């Protein structure tokens, strides 16, 4: 996907949940080229001392790009401190996008924590593209207090939300993968076949690996959006390596270039996230 470096103007900076920020900025070129699953590489703070940081694009609204991020260090503290009118330097959109399965009778979006970010834009795109069946969002978080506020879910009210909390404080007591396993069993009992379901997942690698095992052992196709530390984000430094298997060949791929979206069946999961 062709990428550009664009200087955007911050429109809003707010809290989506405790320790989680939501940054909205104007970026017409990136917004126009965006596809669900792609990401930006943002300059955070002093460019002389900090590498750019990769962030999944959660939503695009007109010329506005919306990023969801966890506040965990100098770069993201800098992002949280942005105010309307500030300028941000982004390269993007980068990477591969989700392949839309609008013919599916039902779509399941499985997100672990901030992994819900790229799935929100996917949900909007599926609806605009005429997806034939209902869409469910299965979100796993640690506790009720980690649930994102209404700003993030605005525009995806059509989603049927299923919440899983690690501590059992709300919704299903368990994680997103356990919730998915239960939901697949329920849908199977309702008469849904393997080809009737489109399943997409995003989140930490251990969660994606477990999701892949649940889906693939039952014959379901699965697309995953992977997270990785990146240096260049254009495939040159190979810091974000991932091993895949395709056409009976082992391939040393890159999350930034061949991904971040992959067919889960093509990833050699052994050792990932360990």
pLDDT digits (tens, 9 = 90+) for 65-120: 999 999 998 999 999 999 999 999 999 999 999 999 999 999 999 999 888 899 99
Would you kindly state where each structural domain of the chain is located, as residue ranges?
A: 4-94, 106-266
Q: What is the pLDDT of residue 150?
A: 64
Asked if residues 201 and 223 have their Cβ atoms less than 8 Å apart, the reply is: yes
The string of DSSP letters for 14-54 reads EEEETTEEEEEEE-HHHHHH--TT-EEEEE-S-TTT---EE
Interacting residues of 181 by C-beta distance below 8 A, sequence separation 6+: 214
Query: Rounded to whole angstroms, how far apart are CA atoms 70 and 42?
Result: 14
The CATH code for residues 4-94 is 2.40.30.10
Q: Among 3.40.50.80, 3.40.50.300, 3.30.470.10, 3.40.50.720, name the CATH number for the domain at 106-266.
A: 3.40.50.80
The predicted structure's pLDDT at residue 274 = 35
235 burial level (CB within 10 Å; 0-12, 13-18, 19+) = middle
List the beta bridge partners of residue 110. 138, 201
Q: How many CA atoms lie within 13 A of 263 on its CB side?
A: 8
Longest dimension (CA), the chain: 58
> CA 203 → CA 97, 119, 196, 223, 259, distances in Å?
15, 10, 24, 12, 14
51 confidence band (pLDDT: 50, 70, 90):
confident
Would the CATH topology of 4-94 be identical to that of 106-266?
A: no
**Average pLDDT across the chain, whole number:** 91
Round to whole Å and give the CA distance between 201 and 106: 15
pLDDT tens digits for 164-184?
998 988 889 999 999 999 999
């Amino acid at each position: 996907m062709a990428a550009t470096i664009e200087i955007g103007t911050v429109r809003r900076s707010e809290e989506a949940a405790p320790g989680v920020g939501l940054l909205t900025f104007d970026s017409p070129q990136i917004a126009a080229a965006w596809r669900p699953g792609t990401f930006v590489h943002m300059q955070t703070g002093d460019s002389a001392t900090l590498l750019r940081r990769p962030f999944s694009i959660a939503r695009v609204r007109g010329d506005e790009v919306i990023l969801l991020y966890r506040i965990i260090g100098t770069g993201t503290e800098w992002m949280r401190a942005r105010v309307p009118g500030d300028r941000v330097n982004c390269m993007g959109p980068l990477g591969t996008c989700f392949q839309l399965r609008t013919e599916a009778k039902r779509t399941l979006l499985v997100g672990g924590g901030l992994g819900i970010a790229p799935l929100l834009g996917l949900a909007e795109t599926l609806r605009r593209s005429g997806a034939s069946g209902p869409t469910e969002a299965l979100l796993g978080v640690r506790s009720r207090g980690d649930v994102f506020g209404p700003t993030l879910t605005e525009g995806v009210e059509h989603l049927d939300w299923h919440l899983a909390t690690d501590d059992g404080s709300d919704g299903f007591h368990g994680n997103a993968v356990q919730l998915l396993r239960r939901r697949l069993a329920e849908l199977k009992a309702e008469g849904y076949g393997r080809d009737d379901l489109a399943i997409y997942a995003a989140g930490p690698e251990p969660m994606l690996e477990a999701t892949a095992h649940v889906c693939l052992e039952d014959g379901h196709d699965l697309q995953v959006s992977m997270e990785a530390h990146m240096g260049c984000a254009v495939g040159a430094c190979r810091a974000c390596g991932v091993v895949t298997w395709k056409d009976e060949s082992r391939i040393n791929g890159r999350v930034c270039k061949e991904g971040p979206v992959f067919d889960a069946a093509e990833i050699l999961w052994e050792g990932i996230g360990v």
